[in-house]
Structure 1
Amino acid sequence: MASYVFLTPPGRAPGDEKTVVLRDGFSFLAYLFPPVWFLLHRLWFEALLSVLLLVLAGLVAETGHLGLAGPFPGIALCLFCGLESGNLRLRHLERKGFRLEAALEARNLAEAEEIFFSKTPLATRTPVNSGANPAPAAFRPVGDHRPVLGLFDLHGGR
Structure 2
Amino acid sequence: MEEWSSQLITSSGPCCMARFLSAVRQCIEHVVFMHRHRIAHLDISLRNIVTDYEGHYAYIDFELSRQFDRSCTPLVHVFRATEMPPECDRNIGVDPFKVDVWALAVLILRACKLTGYWVPELMFLLRPMLDEEPNRRPSAVSCLETINYITRTLAIGPICNPSH
TM-score tier, shorter chain, comes to 0.3 to 0.5
- After TM superposition, the score normalised by the length of structure 2 is 0.32
Larger gyration radius, structure 1 or structure 2: 1
